[in-house]
Amino acid sequence: MSDLMEMTVRGAHELLKQSWISARELVEEALKRIERSEDRVRALLTITAEQALASADSIDRRRSEGETLGPLAGIPIVLKDNLCTSGVKTSAGSRILYNFVPPYDATAVSRLRNAGAISLGKANMDEFAMGSSTENSGFHTTRNPWDLDRVPGGSSGGSAAAVAARQALCALGSDTGGSIRQPAALCGVVGMKPTYGRVSRYGLIAYASSLDQIGPIGKTVDDCALLLQAIAGYDPLDSTCAEVPVPDYGAGRCSVSGLRIGVPREYFGTGVQPDVAGLVRAAVSTLGDLGAIIEECSLPSTEFALAAYYIIAPAEASSNLARFDGVKYGLRTSQISGHIGLTEQTRDEGFGAEAKQRIMVGTYALTAGYYDAYYKRAQQARTLIRQDFDRAFERFDVLVTPTSPTPAFRIGENADPIAMKLADICTIPINLAGLPAISVPCGYVNGLPVGLQIVGRPFEEPTILAAAACYEQATDWRRVPPVAAQQ
């Protein structure tokens, strides 16, 4: 059998349906690949080999009995560790949840399971999804499969690295300011952040609730479309989940003919490496050759995005993280009797430096005396950013930009917190506006992958998927990183 982990989700599922391969073969191969590369890549926090094999056997049994299988039957997947998984440790990359075993599945997870997908385990991430490199994980740093001295991006770095290293066919991540798209770009795979409200956040450990969104990571655009199909749609358990009908995302529609594409000049300015900008501009002209109508445009409020995000996200985080008090679940380090001492000591020992800093910034921004100066102004800036996009989408169907201003940086290189935050400059405005966006590989700089970001109107995932698929089919950027090359 040729390389099973090189298959697309659709390809693997078809072979399985026709009994050319079994779910057990797929899962065994994935586990073998994990064993072979994991000591170098370190993408995962928990591996659930036994459960995965048991699920595979049950799918194979049902298949042999002629049962109709779900659309993702037998597909090995890894889940970011901030997605609650019933009976399986879910730490969100934090020591404060090192022993937390949820009694329920996140809605996205149960929908995947119902579709037949098989979880191999939980992927590493920056603590509570705060970061762009996985260096903020409370456990270890994941390495980029293209260069083990570099970061895989973050915060869904483990998910993206696992897909790139061919440890799983696909993954789920979460994206608050770029955490699916940026690691996908840095690892040379495809990642998509759906419209805010498209996918239920029930069971996603909250970072910044008005920005968080769960989404797929895969080797191809179609893989992401199939995963999105399974997880999208209304859920009464999340009050922000939209009651918008779910269209058909898959089926290889691929067309950009007549598509009006805007290229916002602010996304090619300072901080964006010239090599990266060059590859993205080349991708734009490829889209033009394929029939799209290209025009430059401006999103003038982009300059406020980082500052607004780094008030709003910490403000929401400071509130969301208040629940980790050493009483209800997770770590409890203190022998001290009395609630305050116990909570203080547990939080001091359980949270890492980045989480603590954001809790403090967020709490400060929300205090009565400063609320108007910080939080309110940040929300006003958010409105301006959204209005920029509204105006642009009167003229354009999609916008294209780089996903990340640079390729993967070296582990430890972005120790300066401002430099690290600049890594999100192209992705954060999209979360502030609640829009869908996808990152697809568009070339390599010194052997490191670069991503093209395609942004759409709310709930127009089909448009960005079609444009991304079209670009993907016209180019040849899907490559296997050295760590995953089969001998």
Q: Is 352 in the site for ligand GLN (CB under 6 A)?
A: no
395, burial (CB in 10 Å: exposed 0-12, middle 13-18, buried 19+): exposed
* Identity of residue 82: N
Q: Rank residues 129 and 435 by Cβ distance to ligand GLN and give the closer one.
A: 129
Placement of tokens 């780089």 in the chain: 402
- According to CB under 6 A, which one of 132, 343, 403, 414 is a site residue for ligand GLN? 132
Q: What span, in angstroms and rounded, lies between the C-alpha atoms of 279 and 121? A: 35
Q: Are 426 and 406 in contact (CB under 8 A)?
A: no
129 in contact with ligand GLN (CB under 6 A): yes
Q: Which is nearer to ligand GLN, 124 or 132 (CB)?
A: 132
H or E, element range at 379: helix 377-395
Among the listed ranges 45-53, 125-133, 365-373, 476-484, the one in contact with ligand GLN (CB under 6 A) is 125-133
- CB 253 to ligand GLN: min, Å: 28
Q: Is 131 in the site for ligand GLN (CB under 6 A)?
A: yes
Residue 404 interacts with ligand GLN (CB under 6 A): yes or no: no
Nearest to ligand GLN of 106, 287 (CB atom) = 106
Residue 204 in the binding site for ligand GLN (CB under 6 A):
no
Residue 199 sits at the vertex; the CA angle it makes with 193 and 205, to the nearest 5 degrees, is: 85
Residue 176 contacts ligand GLN per CB under 6 A: yes
Single out the catalytic residue among 94, 110, 119, 155: 155
Q: Name the active-site residue from 22, 80, 132, 193.
A: 80
Residue 146 and residue 423: Cα distance in Å, rounded?
Answer: 18
Q: Token pair 């895989």 is at which residue?
A: 152
191 phi, psi to nearest 5 deg: -140, 145
Asked if 265 and 281 count as a contact pair (C-beta separation under 8 A), the reply is no
Is 80 in the active site?
A: yes
Q: Which stretch binds ligand GLN (CB under 6 A): 49-57, 177-185, 278-286, 371-379?
A: 177-185
Quick one: 155 or 167, whose CB is closer to ligand GLN? Answer: 155
Helix axes 305-320, 353-366, angle to 10 degrees: 100
Joined tokens for residue 244: 């918008």
Q: How many residues bind ligand GLN (CB under 6 A)?
A: 13
439 scored as a contact of ligand GLN (CB under 6 A): no
Is 129 or 280 the residue whose CB approaches ligand GLN more closely? 129
Among candidate residues 22, 179, 301, 439, the one labeled active-site is: 179
Stretch that binds ligand GLN, among 71-79, 96-104, 127-135, 267-275 (CB under 6 A): 127-135
Shortest Cβ distance from residue 314 to ligand GLN (Å)?
Answer: 8
Dihedral in degrees, nearest 10, Cα atoms 338, 341, 343, 345: -140
Tell me the C-alpha distance between 155 and 448, whole Å. Answer: 19
Residue (191 or 456) nearer to ligand GLN, CB: 191
* CB-based contacts of 414-418 (< 8 A; 24+ apart in sequence): 414/132, 414/133, 414/151
List active site positions. 80, 155, 179
